[in-house]
């Protein structure tokens, strides 16, 4: 029995992104066509598990799942939402995207806007960026003191522990790409008129601080990884591998939750009789 997908991608005890190869493929399909086959199977399993989770919450169930997606621009957060989220019934998803905070959001604690988007029981939440932006960006921009940064990590860890206590299973995925791959993807956005709307000149400013961001991410992995709210580092230079990895992490997590279809408190035979006797126009 080999390692599970979660064991394989779980962040190391002493995280250093510099030593993780974004083209690594430590487990799973060897190429794109094998991945496509796997995705069909994963899709069927995930669809069934998602339906059971949703059904469970129509009874007494109070469980949900939250997938936090982080990564540099073009790392594929939107792609994962499309290709992994697209495997299940869209009614069972809660998708939230956290952009540059609005003036209203800035008037509140940094977790305020995040709390409003926590998935309700029965749902799979997909976060495109998250509260981690509030420890990554100010750190790279040098606009936060060490004390304040430490305090934010304490708040994040307390927040995630609270979620887990309420029945939200949290899994955090860092989509790890190389600067070379990012350049290719930004160029594709410039070259293709149907992708140009995704190009943001400001992305080059973040790109110029690549190493600072990698260090900030390594810190985030170090300060906020726990068995209750684990971080996974997903090699993401290959889109098909990234999608397969996140789909597998989510499927494995849901399979362990083992959600159950509730059995309503009805007399099935009596209902069958009522139905048989019911009006046939």
Q: Given the rule CB under 8 A, which residues bind a second copy?
A: 51-52, 55, 58-59, 78, 81-82, 85-86, 89-91, 93, 95, 97, 128, 179-180, 183, 186-187, 190, 193-194, 196-197, 199, 201, 204, 207-208, 210-211, 214, 261-264, 266, 268, 271-272, 274-275, 278-281
Nearer to a second copy, 52 or 254 (CB): 52
Indicate the burial class of 208 (C-beta count within 10 angstroms; 0-12, 13-18, 19 or more): exposed
Q: How far is the CB of 260 from a second copy (least distance, A)?
A: 10
Q: How far is the CB of 205 from a second copy (least distance, A)?
A: 10
Nearer to a second copy, 39 or 229 (CB): 39
Cα–Cα distances (Å) from 147 to 102, 139, 143, 154, 233, in that order, read 25, 11, 12, 11, 27
Nearer to a second copy, 6 or 207 (CB): 207
| Rounded-to-integer distance, Cα 242 and Cα 156, Å | 26
Q: How far is the CB of 146 from a second copy (least distance, A)?
A: 25
Q: How far is the CB of 194 from a second copy (least distance, A)?
A: 5
Nearer to a second copy, 81 or 114 (CB): 81
| Rounded-to-integer distance, Cα 112 and Cα 281, Å | 54
79 close to 138: Cβ distance less than 8 angstroms: no
| Rounded-to-integer distance, Cα 172 and Cα 153, Å | 15
Nearer to a second copy, 166 or 274 (CB): 274
Q: How far is the CB of 279 from a second copy (least distance, A)?
A: 5
> In the chain, where do the E strands start and end?
64-71, 93-97, 124-128, 168-176, 231-235
Nearer to a second copy, 154 or 271 (CB): 271
Q: How far is the CB of 246 from a second copy (least distance, A)?
A: 14
Which residues fall within 8 angstroms of residue 123, CB to CB, at 6 or more apart?
A: 53, 54, 57, 64, 65, 92, 93, 94
Residue 27's closest CA among 233, 172, 224?
A: 233
Q: What are phi and psi of 209, to 5 degrees?
A: -105, 35
């Amino acid at each position: 029995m080999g390692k599970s997908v979660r064991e394989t991608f779980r962040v190391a005890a002493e995280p250093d992104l510099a030593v993780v190869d974004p083209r690594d493929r430590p487990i799973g399909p060897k190429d794109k066509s094998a991945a496509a086959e796997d995705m069909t199977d994963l899709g069927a399993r995930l669809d069934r598990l998602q339906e059971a989770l949703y059904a469970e919450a129509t009874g007494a169930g109070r469980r949900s799942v939250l997938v936090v997606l982080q990564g540099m621009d073009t790392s594929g957060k939107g792609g994962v939402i499309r290709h992994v989220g697209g495997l299940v019934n869209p009614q069972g998803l809660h998708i939230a995207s956290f952009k540059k905070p609005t003036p209203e959001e800035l008037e509140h604690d940094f977790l305020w806007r995040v709390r409003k988007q926590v998935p309700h029981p029965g749902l799979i939440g997909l976060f495109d960026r998250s509260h981690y932006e509030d420890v990554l960006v100010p750190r790279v921009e040098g606009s936060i003191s060490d004390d304040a940064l430490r305090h934010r990590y304490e708040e994040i860890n307390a927040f995630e522990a609270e979620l887990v206590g309420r029945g939200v299973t949290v899994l955090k995925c860092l989509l790890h790409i190389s600067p070379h791959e990012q350049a290719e993807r930004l160029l594709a956005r410039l070259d293709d008129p149907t992708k140009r709307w995704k190009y943001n000149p400001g992305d080059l400013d973040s790109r110029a601080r690549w190493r600072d961001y990698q260090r900030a991410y390594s810190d985030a992995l170090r300060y906020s990884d726990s068995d209750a709210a684990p971080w996974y580092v997903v090699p993401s230079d290959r889109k098909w591998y990234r999608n397969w990895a996140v789909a597998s992490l989510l499927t494995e997590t849901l399979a362990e939750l083992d959600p159950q279809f509730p059995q309503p408190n009805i007399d099935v035979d009596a209902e069958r009789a009522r139905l048989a006797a019911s009006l046939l126009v």
